[in-house]
Copies of this chain bind each other. A is one copy, B any other.
Amino acid sequence: MNNIQDKTGAPPGTVVYYGEQQTKKVKITLIEYNETEFIEKDFYDLSECVTLINPNMVRWINVDGVHDAELIESIGKQFNIHPLTLEDIVNTHQRAKFEDYDNYVVSMMKMITQEEGEIHSEQLCVVLMEGTVISFQEVEGGDAFDYIRNRLRQGKGRIRKMGADYLAYALIDAVVDCYFGILEKIGDRIEELEDDLMKEPSKETLHVLHNMKREMIYIRKAVWPLRELINNMQRSETELIKPSTDIYLRDVHDHAIRVMDTVETYRDLLASMMDIYLSSVSNKMNEVMKVLTIITTIFVPVTFIAGVYGMNFEFMPELHSAWGYPITLILMGIIILILLYYFRRKKWL
């Protein structure tokens, strides 16, 4: 929840990992392909991986973990990546952004995935250079790319025929599509919450409402720069992204705007629901007050009458009359009926 790092004082371009401490060895996955061939292999060592690189193929190097600063630095040296980019890769509290360097372009964003109902967020960096895509994920496993891997393995669709820029696009598209899934879940919860509000708003409803508002604030914070990222990517003058990929970027841009629209819509809905909640609480209090008022108003006058005839004065003529008691009871009954009629007319009953 806390997206701010305590980086005060670190020199610009220093590769220091700021996330939670991790000790797992970093896995590097190399996928190389062209229209006819396909190679996929896992490594735990960069030098081994590099030897396998084939200039006639497009390659996707996926790095599952950014806590090994040394490894990231050696990748940086191998592929000629600027220290500032490396700093951004290991610093997992980045804002989504697209940056244009001489020999590569880099896109950073939050990737949100769902595993067994639990939402899991990690940072993804996609470095696109000539014929090569390097993706850096914060932790191993649980990414949004299984579908892309399968398509690459099976050689279906156009992905094996296209270059590295299409691959980079496909990765970003997969990330944006993940947001739709999350939002759909949230949409369902909003509808449930609306039903709750209509029926029986409770203190828990309020907390759920606040939590959802907070979630929307954080999702919005993640999504807003995403659109800018794709925008900058579209307008970038880099030659790494070919004109034929432009049409796909336009499509993913469109999806990002759609995500934004939905986020804004949900924010509006939640704001309206907060109003409903507040009104409901007031309405409820109104009802409690009415019950109190009716009961008090009916019994206080007749209790007063009873009090009067409970006084111990010696000279109270009514007390000695045979009709005193029944007439008093009837009088009390009439008062109660008048008040009930008054409340019914006021529509409090």
Contact = CB atoms under 8 A, between A and B. Distances in A.
Interface of A: 1-14, 82, 84, 94-95, 97, 99, 101, 144, 146-147, 151, 156-159, 169-170, 173-174, 177-178, 180-181, 183-184, 187-188, 191, 194, 198, 200, 203, 206-207, 210, 213-214, 217-218, 221, 224-225, 247-248, 250-252, 254, 257-258, 261-262, 265, 268-269, 272-286, 288-293, 295-297, 299-304, 306-316, 318-322, 324-325, 328-329, 332, 347-348
A250 B84 CA distance: 10
Please report whether the interface of chain A is mostly helix, strand, loop or mixed according to DSSP. helix
A211 to B, nearest CB: 9
Contacts of A4: 180, 183-184, 187, 262
Contact of A313 (B84, B247, B319): B319
Contact of A297 (B210, B295, B319, B321): B295
B288 A247 contact: no
B297 A313 contact: no
Nearest to A212: B272
A149 to B, nearest CB: 11
A316 B311 contact: no
Contact of A307 (B283, B310, B324): B310
A312 B319 contact: yes
A315 B323 CA distance: 8
A151 B12 CA distance: 11
